[in-house]
Amino acid sequence: MKINTKIIESNLKINFNNKKLLIQSLTHKSYSEKYNNEKLEFLGDRVIGLVISKKLLSLYPNENEGVIDKKFSYLVNKKTCALVGRQLNLKNFIKTGNSLRYLRSNDEKIISDCCESIIGALYLDQGYSAAERFILKNWDSFLKKSVITRIDSKTKLQEFSLKKFKKLPIYKSFKPTGPNHNPIFKVQVNISNSKKYFGLGKSKKLAEQNAASKLVKSLKI
């Protein structure tokens, strides 16, 4: 498969100085064990992390570290990188071996890795500023969505308990009640020096969240 760099550059809206870097960033290891995008993907992953971290700190100067970390995880995970890759139509340009000749739309890891490797290649070709502009432009819609990210009560309680007491919250489950087709779960939770709070729910997970929510509210955290 021959890669037409002009078409790709037009698609990415970037002109590479070193076309070989662009071609390498699109070359999967199934095509070549020696000349592939693995190291560029490694670099791109770090560049994305740095750019997104910096942006989040400027967007949310008053948020605590736990909230920012949750937003960060959402923005840099494989799923988000793959979505960016699909928006850029990278699936049409990835150079693969015979075993992967026809990439499926759900080949999330390959598309995600390719997205990261292109950013790594751009960083080497044009420096941090160019990579930052590219990332912020293509992650813009995801950064806007990050404003709705919230820490759930279980996570908030766990972070508080570990920070203050170096211990995890203690959850105790009770035997479900109600009919088999529609059981009600009951869970108790407490942390060091706290009262015990109970939660009900249609699943154990929901019951834990409800119990944790009551305790979090009582602690005013």
Question: Where in the sequence numbering do the catalytic residues fall?
Answer: 45, 116
How many alpha carbons fall within 13 Å on the CB side of residue 49? 10
Nearest to 64 by CA among 180, 191, 165, 151: 151
Is residue 108 within 8 A of residue 79, CB to CB? The reply is yes
Please report, for the chain, how many H helices and E strands are present, in that order.
10, 3
Structure tokens at 188: 């108790």
Q: Rounded CA gap, 129 and 157, in Å?
A: 39
Q: Rounded CA gap, 72 and 53, in Å?
A: 7
